[in-house]
Amino acid sequence: MSEQRCWYLIHSKPRMEKQAEENLSRQGYETYLPMVKTRRRRNNRYITLVEAFFPRYLFIHLDTQTDNWAPIRSTLGVSRLIQFGGIPAIAPAELIDSLKTNEDELGFQNIEKKEMKAGDKVNIIDGPFAGYTGIYNKKKSTERVTILLDIVGKQSEVTISEHDLLLA
Protein backbone atom coordinates (compact mmCIF):
# COMPACT_ATOMS: atom_id res chain seq x y z
CA MET A 1 0.00 0.00 0.00
CA SER A 2 1.29 3.42 -0.92
CA GLU A 3 2.31 5.93 1.72
CA GLN A 4 0.29 8.57 -0.15
CA ARG A 5 -3.11 6.97 0.64
CA CYS A 6 -5.38 9.12 2.79
CA TRP A 7 -9.06 9.21 3.69
CA TYR A 8 -11.00 12.09 2.16
CA LEU A 9 -14.52 13.31 2.76
CA ILE A 10 -17.24 13.20 0.12
CA HIS A 11 -20.45 15.22 0.30
CA SER A 12 -23.34 13.25 -1.20
CA LYS A 13 -26.66 14.33 -2.59
CA PRO A 14 -29.52 14.25 -0.03
CA ARG A 15 -30.27 10.71 1.19
CA MET A 16 -27.97 9.22 -1.48
CA GLU A 17 -24.99 8.23 0.68
CA LYS A 18 -25.53 4.50 0.12
CA GLN A 19 -25.97 4.95 -3.63
CA ALA A 20 -22.80 7.06 -3.83
CA GLU A 21 -20.89 4.40 -1.88
CA GLU A 22 -22.11 1.59 -4.15
CA ASN A 23 -21.29 3.51 -7.35
CA LEU A 24 -17.82 4.48 -6.13
CA SER A 25 -17.12 0.88 -5.06
CA ARG A 26 -18.19 -0.36 -8.51
CA GLN A 27 -15.55 1.96 -9.99
CA GLY A 28 -12.89 0.37 -7.77
CA TYR A 29 -12.61 3.02 -5.07
CA GLU A 30 -12.31 2.03 -1.41
CA THR A 31 -15.08 3.76 0.55
CA TYR A 32 -16.38 3.78 4.08
CA LEU A 33 -19.93 4.74 5.06
CA PRO A 34 -20.60 4.46 8.82
CA MET A 35 -24.22 3.45 9.45
CA VAL A 36 -26.41 3.64 12.56
CA LYS A 37 -29.77 2.29 13.65
CA THR A 38 -32.10 4.98 14.98
CA ARG A 39 -35.64 5.11 16.29
CA ARG A 40 -37.98 7.69 14.81
CA ARG A 41 -41.56 8.54 15.51
CA ARG A 42 -43.94 8.14 12.58
CA ASN A 43 -47.72 8.20 12.81
CA ASN A 44 -47.54 8.02 16.63
CA ARG A 45 -45.43 4.83 16.46
CA TYR A 46 -41.70 4.31 16.77
CA ILE A 47 -39.88 2.60 13.94
CA THR A 48 -36.24 1.55 13.58
CA LEU A 49 -34.38 3.06 10.64
CA VAL A 50 -30.92 2.42 9.24
CA GLU A 51 -29.25 5.63 8.13
CA ALA A 52 -25.85 7.23 7.62
CA PHE A 53 -24.06 8.13 10.87
CA PHE A 54 -23.00 11.40 9.20
CA PRO A 55 -25.92 12.35 6.93
CA ARG A 56 -24.73 13.32 3.41
CA TYR A 57 -21.09 12.32 4.10
CA LEU A 58 -18.94 9.29 3.37
CA PHE A 59 -15.22 8.62 3.26
CA ILE A 60 -13.05 7.58 0.31
CA HIS A 61 -9.49 6.19 0.49
CA LEU A 62 -7.35 7.68 -2.27
CA ASP A 63 -3.72 7.77 -3.35
CA THR A 64 -2.55 11.24 -4.36
CA GLN A 65 -0.16 9.80 -6.97
CA THR A 66 -1.91 6.86 -8.65
CA ASP A 67 -5.70 7.18 -8.24
CA ASN A 68 -7.80 8.95 -10.89
CA TRP A 69 -9.89 11.51 -9.01
CA ALA A 70 -11.77 12.83 -12.09
CA PRO A 71 -14.68 10.30 -12.09
CA ILE A 72 -15.56 11.00 -8.44
CA ARG A 73 -17.42 14.27 -9.10
CA SER A 74 -19.63 12.77 -11.82
CA THR A 75 -20.49 9.61 -9.87
CA LEU A 76 -24.22 9.18 -9.29
CA GLY A 77 -25.03 10.19 -5.69
CA VAL A 78 -21.89 12.29 -5.19
CA SER A 79 -22.29 16.04 -4.81
CA ARG A 80 -18.61 16.99 -4.36
CA LEU A 81 -15.33 16.23 -2.66
CA ILE A 82 -14.97 18.40 0.45
CA GLN A 83 -12.19 20.95 0.00
CA PHE A 84 -10.74 23.81 2.00
CA GLY A 85 -8.99 26.48 -0.05
CA GLY A 86 -9.09 24.24 -3.12
CA ILE A 87 -7.28 21.42 -1.29
CA PRO A 88 -9.20 18.18 -0.58
CA ALA A 89 -9.88 17.79 3.15
CA ILE A 90 -8.06 14.81 4.69
CA ALA A 91 -9.96 12.88 7.35
CA PRO A 92 -7.65 11.59 10.11
CA ALA A 93 -6.97 7.84 9.81
CA GLU A 94 -7.51 7.64 13.59
CA LEU A 95 -11.10 8.81 13.09
CA ILE A 96 -11.78 6.05 10.56
CA ASP A 97 -10.12 3.45 12.82
CA SER A 98 -12.18 4.67 15.78
CA LEU A 99 -15.42 4.50 13.79
CA LYS A 100 -14.61 0.98 12.56
CA THR A 101 -13.81 -0.27 16.08
CA ASN A 102 -17.04 1.27 17.39
CA GLU A 103 -19.14 -0.91 15.06
CA ASP A 104 -21.21 -3.80 16.38
CA GLU A 105 -21.20 -7.28 14.81
CA LEU A 106 -23.70 -6.15 12.13
CA GLY A 107 -21.57 -3.15 11.10
CA PHE A 108 -23.64 -0.43 12.76
CA GLN A 109 -22.21 2.29 14.98
CA ASN A 110 -22.64 1.34 18.61
CA ILE A 111 -24.39 4.24 20.35
CA GLU A 112 -24.88 3.65 24.01
CA LYS A 113 -27.93 5.26 25.50
CA LYS A 114 -27.32 6.36 29.07
CA GLU A 115 -29.66 4.74 31.54
CA MET A 116 -31.72 7.23 33.50
CA LYS A 117 -32.08 6.84 37.22
CA ALA A 118 -34.45 8.35 39.76
CA GLY A 119 -33.64 12.01 40.38
CA ASP A 120 -31.99 12.69 36.99
CA LYS A 121 -32.96 15.98 35.38
CA VAL A 122 -34.52 15.39 31.93
CA ASN A 123 -35.65 17.52 29.00
CA ILE A 124 -38.81 16.57 27.15
CA ILE A 125 -38.15 16.78 23.41
CA ASP A 126 -41.43 15.54 21.94
CA GLY A 127 -45.11 15.26 22.75
CA PRO A 128 -47.49 17.62 24.54
CA PHE A 129 -44.89 18.58 27.17
CA ALA A 130 -42.06 19.30 24.69
CA GLY A 131 -39.77 22.02 26.02
CA TYR A 132 -40.42 21.25 29.69
CA THR A 133 -37.76 20.05 32.12
CA GLY A 134 -38.62 17.44 34.72
CA ILE A 135 -37.19 14.92 37.16
CA TYR A 136 -36.98 11.26 36.11
CA ASN A 137 -38.94 9.12 38.56
CA LYS A 138 -39.17 5.48 37.40
CA LYS A 139 -39.67 3.10 34.50
CA LYS A 140 -43.29 2.06 34.15
CA SER A 141 -43.13 -0.44 31.25
CA THR A 142 -40.77 -1.30 28.39
CA GLU A 143 -41.11 2.14 26.76
CA ARG A 144 -43.05 4.25 29.27
CA VAL A 145 -41.60 6.18 32.22
CA THR A 146 -42.90 8.54 34.86
CA ILE A 147 -41.38 11.92 35.49
CA LEU A 148 -42.13 14.70 37.92
CA LEU A 149 -43.13 17.97 36.28
CA ASP A 150 -43.63 21.31 37.96
CA ILE A 151 -47.02 22.35 36.57
CA VAL A 152 -48.39 25.64 37.92
CA GLY A 153 -46.35 25.43 41.10
CA LYS A 154 -47.27 21.83 41.93
CA GLN A 155 -45.16 18.76 41.20
CA SER A 156 -47.20 16.25 39.23
CA GLU A 157 -46.31 12.74 38.10
CA VAL A 158 -46.66 12.33 34.33
CA THR A 159 -46.27 9.14 32.27
CA ILE A 160 -44.65 9.56 28.85
CA SER A 161 -42.58 7.61 26.32
CA GLU A 162 -38.91 7.25 27.24
CA HIS A 163 -38.08 8.21 23.64
CA ASP A 164 -39.41 11.71 24.31
CA LEU A 165 -36.69 12.37 26.93
CA LEU A 166 -33.06 13.45 26.93
CA LEU A 167 -30.83 13.69 29.99
CA ALA A 168 -30.34 17.37 30.83
Mean per-residue pLDDT, 110-133: 84
50 or 153, higher pLDDT = 50
Residue 155 contacts by C-beta under 8 Å, 6 or more apart in sequence?
148, 149
94 within a domain of the structure (yes/no): yes
The CATH number of residue 159's host domain is 2.30.30.30
> Are residue 41 and residue 83 in the same domain, yes or no?
yes
Asked if residue 95 and residue 26 are part of one domain, the reply reads: yes
Domain co-membership, 77 together with 136: no
- Looking at the structure, tell me whether residues 29 and 95 fall in a common domain: yes
pLDDT of residue 110: 83
| Of 168 and 17, the one with more pLDDT | 17
Residue 53's CB: how many other CB atoms inside 10 A? 18
- Determine the average pLDDT of the residues in 118-140: 88
* Residue 9 belongs to domain spanning: 5-101
User: How large is the average pLDDT for residues 124-146?
Assistant: 87
What pLDDT, on the 0 to 100 scale, is given for residue 94?
95
Is residue 84 a part of any domain in this protein? yes
Say whether pLDDT at 127 is over 50.
yes
90 and 163 together in one domain: no
CATH number at residue 9: 3.30.70.940
Q: At residue 1, does pLDDT exceed 60?
A: no
Average pLDDT over residues 120-142: 87
Mean pLDDT of 13-30: 96
pLDDT of 2 higher than 50: no
Q: What is the pTM of this model?
A: 0.69
pLDDT, one tens digit per residue, over 61-92 is 999 888 999 999 999 999 999 999 999 999 99
